[in-house]
Amino acid sequence: MDRFVYLTFDGLSRGAVYAAFALALVLIWRAARIVNFAQGAMAVAAVYVAYSVTEKTGSYWLGFAAALVFGLLLGIAVEKAVMRFVDHSSPLNGVVVALGLVLIVQGVLGIVYGNEFRPVQTPFRRDAFDIGGIAVLSRYDVFVFAAVGAVVIGLTVLFTRTAVGLRMRAAAFAPDVSRLLGVPVGGMLTLGWALAAAVGSLAGMLVVPTELGLNPNAMDVLFVSAFTAAVVGGLDSPIGAVTGGLIVGLLLSYVSGYLGATVAPMAVLLLLVVVLLGRPGGLFSSSKARLA
């Protein structure tokens, strides 16, 4: 029972990160109908920037801020330089271009930093508190929950309460009409990419220390988990992304806790297959997504 409780909290903490990452995927999907397969690689790049800044200055938080800013800028750059020129007549094109970006980012990171694993520090300790004799959460987990919670709340407020959010939703939902009404659709798209990349960077910052460590391929498996989370929730739905993230996190935690860590990626694959075959649109249908 202790173990179950521990695994549950561990799963929720992992799931929160997947949720953030899945949110980033959903943001771009809603705005541009592209699944950004380069999301993971971009996030790793941001974490490397944080690593460098932290090395130079000795401050974790400066690095943290640098990662978010870098993510924002990288998102803008990718959208403005590459993604807006992708031909959308076939969904294949966007995917292939994103894969090209993956290769570029991983290659550049490898050239600059080398391919070896680097340990990354965490701002808080990762040993769990005891509550009634059961190891539940660590300070770091609390930090993860707080950070992801802030992102979710921030995005919700942005999209539902602000004029910019309204324009972004309009630009994504009906680009032509929005343009006629004076919404700068291209600008909204760039903003969407910037936000998504920043959220992805945050997720990368949160998850890389807890996984094996920092290397150019650090996010490959993680991207798959996040993609699964986004698909489980339905690529259209932010609420679905968060729920999907938590589901995937819990699944991974239970599977690696009870069956062994090596089985975990297979469990994700299985979940992805089951969801895609059962409900290709995801558990949260798109009609719900329009409300969000």
Partner 1 sequence: MTDIKEKRPAITPEQTTSKPRKRPHPIWYAIAGAVLIAALTYYLPPFRNYQLATVGAYFTVTAGLTVLTGLNGQLSLGHGALMATGAYTFALTQNRWLTMPLSFLAAVLATVLAGAVIGLAAARLRGPYLAGLTLAVAVVVPSVASTFDDTLGSDMGLSIALDPPPGVIPMERWQAWLCWAGALLTALLLALLVRGRFGRDLRAVRDDETAARLAGVHIARTQILAFVVSAACAGLAGALFAFLAQSVSPGAFPLTLSLFLVMAIVIGGLGRLFGALLGALLLVLLPALAQSVAEGSGSQHLEGNLALVIFGVVLVVVMLAAPGGLASIRFTSIRRKR
Residues that bind partner 1 (CB under 8 A): 29, 34-35, 37, 82, 85-87, 89-97, 99-115, 216-217, 220-221, 223-224, 227-228, 231, 235, 260, 262-266, 268-269, 272-273, 276-277, 280
- Nearest-5° angle of CA 31, CA 152, CA 177? 25
Specify the residue, 12 or 219, whose C-beta has the smaller distance to partner 1.
Answer: 219
Question: Smallest gap, in angstroms, from Cβ of residue 264 to partner 1?
Answer: 7
Number of H helices, E strands in the chain: 12, 2
Question: Smallest gap, in angstroms, from Cβ of residue 231 to partner 1?
Answer: 6
Specify the residue, 178 or 225, whose C-beta has the smaller distance to partner 1.
Answer: 225
Query: What is the rounded distance in angstroms from the CA atom of residue 45 to the CA atom of residue 110?
Result: 10
Query: What is the rounded distance in angstroms from the CA atom of residue 198 to the CA atom of residue 230?
Result: 17
Question: Smallest gap, in angstroms, from Cβ of residue 93 to partner 1?
Answer: 5
The token pair at 21 is 């990452």
Question: Smallest gap, in angstroms, from Cβ of residue 59 to partner 1?
Answer: 27
The token pair at 152 is 């979710």
Query: What is the rounded distance in angstroms from the CA atom of residue 171 to the CA atom of residue 87?
Result: 18
Query: What is the rounded distance in angstroms from the CA atom of residue 188 to the CA atom of residue 44?
Result: 25
Question: Smallest gap, in angstroms, from Cβ of residue 22 to partner 1?
Answer: 12
Tokens 């809603």 — which residue? 30
Specify the residue, 105 or 250, whose C-beta has the smaller distance to partner 1.
Answer: 105
Specify the residue, 19 or 34, whose C-beta has the smaller distance to partner 1.
Answer: 34
